[in-house]
Amino acid sequence: MKIVIVGAGYVGLVSGICFSDFGHNVVCVEKDERKLAMLAKGEIPIYEPGLDALLAKNITAGRIKFTNDLATSMEGADAVFIAVGTPTRRGDGHADLTYVFQTAKEIADTMHSGIVVVTKSTVPVGTNREIARIISKQRPGVEFHTASNPEFLREGSAIEDFMRPDRVVIGVESAHGEEVLRRIYRPLNLRETPILATDLETAEIIKYAANAFLATKITFINEIADLCEKVGGDVQQVAKGMGMDKRIGGRFLHAGPGYGGSCFPKDTLALARTGQEVDAVQSIVETVIRANNERKLAMAGKVIAACGGSVKGKRIAILGVTFKPDTDDMRDAPSLVIIPQLRKAGAEMVLCDPQGHMESATMFPDETWADNAYDAAKNADAVVVITEWNAFRGLDLARLKAGMSEAIFVDLRNIYTYREMDAADFQYFPIGKRQRKST
Ligand code: UDX
């Protein structure tokens, strides 16, 4: 099959490379010259484990190309995927659909009869129908098929999520649209991946509902963690006990500093906004958004409390700034709230992150950077883990402590235990466990 992908951002790039690995002939259309130049050389503009090797393999096999020329790319294509960004519109929380509609117009200009126009970008309910309207208005009489194919991949495990998804959702309106998408995803049949074929609106809502539900799960366990800190109990054990109930499941129940990233914050806001507009208020989602914002601020308070009520003049080593490990993505990262709050409270910080440095150097203009956790902790009063990179999971605690002025360890991801921290003589402050004096 010949597939065109418009937009080589996270979703477009991963989808394009994985589709080419399925054996399809893929052309990715990207307007950003810098990105395009990198991709043409086989370089990946984002950090995603394994993606560079998969790209190299498929470039060599001649199955994937990058260009800024949509018209030529469309020749002979079976399907064109819209995978451009839908950022939060400033001011109102709505998804900004400018790029999606612009792409729809460009597709209309260049398409041939019979093509399937698939939206992979996360778009609010009703958008696919609007895309269809724009295209038919521009090219009346030319037959095309609209489809919605939301993407559920996570950064850091994007290839695995794409190649071994729990399900593929396709929203379609015609037998041909369904048939083409089923053929595109046929390689997943071997793994018996369920394909849910439904209508456009349902597919659009599934994506938002799934993300909002996961964000709710995280926010729920975060509040239970606060409760544990007050009354005793260990949130990790609580999550384990809850998760053993198959109706609940154990995943996405890790308490932490609040969710971030390119999807949950943006998609929960957009869902809440749609609900308000159509008078179907999503009160749970609205509460989740508020609680998650407050949590990021509260985490700075937790660090200040751990440091005895003030961080004025204190030196703090921050381990991890990206919104989660195995990505260089800083979008809505809890660190973007916690670090400025601590700075406001008078702390001086040394930051360390295996990937975040390049992306975030301008976001934290007042802080310095260290290459590793030990250097970051030199002369520090406290160490704070914000992101659970593997590099921070197995630290030599004695070595870490030896360089520090005071031995305070705030673990916002629960990657250590009281036992380990007691043995190393740290004052340990995890999430969701009653504070006790470490010896
Ligand atoms: C998410 C969805 O998982 C994915 O299906 C969708 O397509 C895009 O959004 P992603 O943002 O890449 O993926 O990361 P994810 O692993 O879901 O984590 C999102 C945020 O939640 C991170 O900040 C992470 O630290 C946090 N999180 C996740 C928790 O705090 N606890 C958990 O148990 C899980």
> For the chain, where do the domains classified as CATH 3.40.50.720 start and end?
2-198, 294-429
DSSP element (H, E) containing 106? helix 98-110
Domain(s) of CATH 1.10.1040.10: residues in the chain: 208-289
Catalytic position from the list 18, 28, 228, 263: 263
**Are 319 and 389 within 8 A, CB to CB?**
yes
* Shortest-distance atom of ligand 1 to CA 158: 12
Question: How far is residue 129's CA from residue 140's CA, in Å, rounded to a whole number?
Answer: 15
pLDDT at 439: 43
Q: What spacing in Å lies between the alpha carbon of 114 and ligand 1's midpoint?
A: 37
Ligand 1 within 6 A of 296 CB? Answer: no
Active site residue 28: no
Angle subtended by helix axes 127-138 and 200-231, to nearest 10: 150
Gap from CA of 118 to ligand 1 centroid (Å)? 25
| CA-closest residue to ligand 1 atom 9 | 263
Mean pLDDT by groups of 10 residues along the chain of 439 residues: 96 97 97 93 91 96 97 97 91 89 97 97 94 97 97 94 97 98 95 95 97 98 97 97 98 98 94 96 98 98 98 98 93 97 98 82 89 98 98 98 97 97 97 76
pLDDT attached to residue 87: 87
Q: Please tell me the distance between residue 153's alpha carbon and the centre of ligand 1 in angstroms.
A: 10
pTM of the complete model beyond 0.85: yes
Does 264 sit in the ligand 1 pocket, CB within 6 Å? yes
Cβ neighbors of 159 (< 8 A, separation 6 or more) are 14, 18, 48, 49, 50, 51, 54
The pLDDT of residue 90 is 81
In this prediction, residue 359 carries a pLDDT of: 67
Q: Which class in CATH covers the domain with range 208-289?
A: mainly alpha
In angstroms, the CA 333 to CA 263 distance is 11
Please give the distance, rounded to the nearest whole angstrom, from the Cα atom of residue 218 to the centre of ligand 1.
9
253 lines ligand 1 (CB under 6 A): yes
**Centre of ligand 1 from the C-alpha of residue 179, in Å:** 31
Mutational test site, ligand 1, from 211, 213, 259, 338, max ligand atoms within 8 Å of CB: 259
With a 6 A CB cut-off, is 252 part of the ligand 1 pocket? Answer: yes
Question: 2-198: what fold?
Answer: Rossmann fold (3.40.50)
Q: Which CATH architecture has domain 294-429?
A: 3-Layer(aba) Sandwich (3.40)
CB atoms within 10 A of CB 65: 17
